Chains A and B, each alone.
Chain A
Amino acid sequence: MDVRRKLAVLADAAKYDASCASSGSRRETPKGGMGNTEGMGICHSYTPDGRCVSLLKILFTNYCVYDCRYCVNRISSDVERAQFSVREVVDLTIEFYRRNYIEGLFLSSGIVKSPDATMAELVEVARSLRIDHGFGGYIHLKVPPGVSRELIARAGPLVDRLSVNVELPTTADLSSLAPEKTLGAIESSMAIMKEQIDESKERTKGMRDRKETFIPAGQSTQMIVGATPATDSQILATATRLYTGHGLRRVYYSAFSPIPHADARLPGKSPPLVREHRLYEADWLVRFYGFQASELVDGTHPNLDLDIDPKLAWALAHREFFPIDVNLADREALLRVPGLGVRNVDRILAMRRHRTLALEDLRKLRVAVRRSLPFLAFAGGSEGARVRTLDSMELRRRVEPAKQLALFESQVAAVGGQL
């Protein structure tokens, strides 16, 4: 099989992993080499699914000894199989990089022989790129669960990011769809990575010009949404545990997508993509807006509203919290106003030190006034929320976005993170 055919097979097999981030790492171009990272990720292209192409995202091989039902590469699937050599992956990465197609490499793999044997090949690719070719671009390796401590220690200084996929939100989901994987093994791999990252931080503590060199962009993970009946509440609870327990930088939610040669235990239909976006929005609210996951979903409302974003849904359910005064409220309270994103809240705070704000100011900042106005008050002004509007049964209809726009907006928001 020629390299081009392998590339077609092994990129096709890799497309179900949502992550393509190349941010969060700083690396200078090695002397005589090529490639760097400057903190900000770069999306070099976009495919017609609206997803970005930042990294060369491929599998080392799609042969796999596991039989995870949701996975197109499971042993019982009869997809075409292929395997790269280390040299082929290295050459492709370099040739893609020097034409400015990519920021780097995201290499994952089916499990051949054992997790350690597989990981050793991936580490060898990273070593060859960094050491033999002076490659300074971004490298993200997917870690098979259950990999040894030593291999993670070897990979750490070579890569920008490592990730192990949690795959499904609950233990029960895993045992029904991924019989060889357990949450325990997955999380213990995460724990090993966190431990080594912390140790490395400890070593460089107090150094001048300290720069993180061990997995500098941290670890991420991916959860498949909609392949099992798990609720948004369970999904966000697992995400919260991973963020706080294992120090993950990012949890990716990937709406279950139909795969060729699907197993009959999988749902025949994919969940609405908007569900995935609502989860991302909720994730942002928890990480940057001071919300608790339990404020957004709970036992009685285990799933996020698909029609409106979770912040608006929270506001409609907690009208007693409003109106919030633009000129007096603190940052935390302003962040809870629908339509006010982090950036605009910071602008409001800077501006109001010098003058009293009126509705017109918000319009100029392009705040989504229709959505936010009913929840706002302006000290000294007559605009903004009236208790009558807030109590109105019609409020939801007034503030919810037109349906068509909603998905697009939320997708752009999920990329930009401004809610």
Chain B
Amino acid sequence: MRQTKAGRRRSPRSAAAKPASGGRFGKFGGRYVPETLMAALDELTRIYEAAIADRAFRSELNDLLRTYSGRPTPLSDTPRLSDKVGCRVLLKREDLNHTGAHKINNTLGQVLLARRMGKRRIIAETGAGQHGVATATACARFGLECVVYMGEEDMARQGLNVYRMRVLGATVVPVSSGTRTLKDATNEALRDWVTNVTTTHYVIGSVVGPDPFPRIVRDFQSVIGSEARSQMLERVGALPAAVVACVGGGSNAMGIFSGFIPDASVRLVGVEAAGEGMATGRHAASLGAGRPGVLHGSLSYVLQSDDGQVMPAHSVSAGLDYPGVGPEHAHLKDSGRVAYVTATDREALDAFHALARLEGILPALESSHAIAWVMGARWRAKDTVLINLSGRGDKDVAHVAGLTGARV
């Protein structure tokens, strides 16, 4: 039944669950921000809705994705990994995008929106630096001023990406407040936006933040899911049994899931970072162990103390090291459409090495969590599993070497 329906061409947008009303996904989402930002969020909503309905905008973005970022990204079969897992495993190769991750899908789209709004100053937050690099890249391409907020601790861990952003012409501002990581970089970017809102667009990097950001980022990332769905039908002739993606804020996962949400036969699995183990409390599993709360402008699951203070997250992968998660994921968890599971630092590192040795692909440590979970789960021989390989692992090589005591 699904198979016959599956062959029909659908617009990518219809596949994604739109927020019902007031920018909410069920009870989650919303706009929990200072009054100063409300006008800018209204303006962004208006401009965004007009843009995606505009054929010229879509065609310009698609053209950039094709000729600048290198889309469509391929699906790769993994014969040796598949042998080990016990069923056919395919990878959606977002690592082959320009700048090495899915982040550019969103930054190109948002920079085009900024241009439509006449805003020539762009700000962004970044954790590992991938979103910062993708934003700096899009700004360079369009000649816009770019300021990236980054926690001091992350700057020390990701020196190479800091330098890449500077080479691309961006200003990287160190953030020394709080935990000096992604959470605090996001606070600082929001403070900048409150101050410079009339001249500046905030290119948020994940499906988080106040409405309309979670749906804008999801829609710009939904190209992953719509491509992957047609590629599956073309290559395999059927939809996958499961689609698996890592979840920090959750943009790569929302991107690929959005293509499959209406396909009830497809199991959707989001893998959060269990860090040193769920029992240790040192993890980043907001959906697995958090409670509903408000962080960075929306209601979602948040790692927090009994007294409502946000707790520091932990993961070997800086991109998953975030105590919140996108509000649509919170809704998909509560509705049961997506299963959220975890993988530890150790499991992710093992998967990083496994994919390198078995397939000649270095996965980002973020994506390694998804691979790790698939390697540890039970499958039937006839299953086909699709993993979103959200980024490449070159950025992590020095970090992994350090952890294993190797010299580079």
Q: Do A and B belong to a common assembly? A: no
Which residues from chain B sit less than 8 Å from chain A, CB to CB?
none
Which residues from chain A sit less than 8 Å from chain B, CB to CB?
none
